[in-house]
Amino acid sequence: MDLEALKTSTLAFVEAHQAWTPAIAGGLAFCESVAVLSLFVPATVILVAIGAMVGGIGIPLWPVVIAAAVGAALGDWLSYEVGRWLGPGAKTKWPLRRYPELTLKAEGFIARWGIAAVAIGRFFGPARALVPLVAGILGLPRLPFQAANITSALVWAFVLLAPGAGLLAWFER
């Protein structure tokens, strides 16, 4: 199945089964936030389209935003915990060993910005799933990580979904 077919079928499912929209948004955000898995799921494009559908077909926005935020936060948490579990040896394992320059950039980003890198990284495609993994590898403290993770997940979900929902609803008036 190609990416366009996946996007089309997901959006058709959302339109046909509107009650599942929060769960779908949460699942997509989770996939988008898990290191490695994010490479295979075109979640950002689908989530933006879901945001537009929310405004166009009358699905309540906030349950979808909250579900997407929960999915994103859980995905980053999983990546972080995998990084902590694997430790520095993760750099010698697939897929990080194939992209040492990206890992070094993520380490430099975290060294420069500290825990704020977790929040900032969520808004940049390639960094979205890699920064939490590297944060775990570097042993950043859990509580500050989770604070940045959850806060940025809420902002990210709103920023991703609300513009399409708001614009479509505004045009329909």
Q: What is the pLDDT of residue 172?
A: 55
CB contact at 8 A, 70 and 26? yes
Q: What is the pLDDT of residue 173?
A: 54
Q: What is the pLDDT of residues 73-132, one digit of tens each?
A: 999 999 999 999 999 999 898 888 988 898 999 999 999 999 999 999 999 877 788 999
Q: What is the pLDDT of residue 166?
A: 67
117-123 own/partner pairs: CB under 8 Å, 24+ apart:
118/76, 118/145, 118/148, 118/149, 118/152, 119/148, 119/149, 119/151, 119/152, 119/155, 120/152, 122/33, 122/72, 122/76, 122/152, 122/153, 122/156, 123/152, 123/156, 123/159
pLDDT bin (cut points 50, 70, 90) of residue 171 is: low
Q: What letters, b where the CB count within 10 A reaches 16 and e where it falls short, cover 105-134?
A: bbbebbeeeebebbbbbbeeeebbbbbbbb
**Closest among 30, 29, 27, 34 to 95, alpha carbons compared:** 34
**Is the model's pLDDT at 41 over the cut of 70?**
yes
Q: What is the pLDDT of residue 10?
A: 79
Q: What is the pLDDT of residue 1?
A: 55
User: What pTM, to 2 d.p., does this model score?
Assistant: 0.88
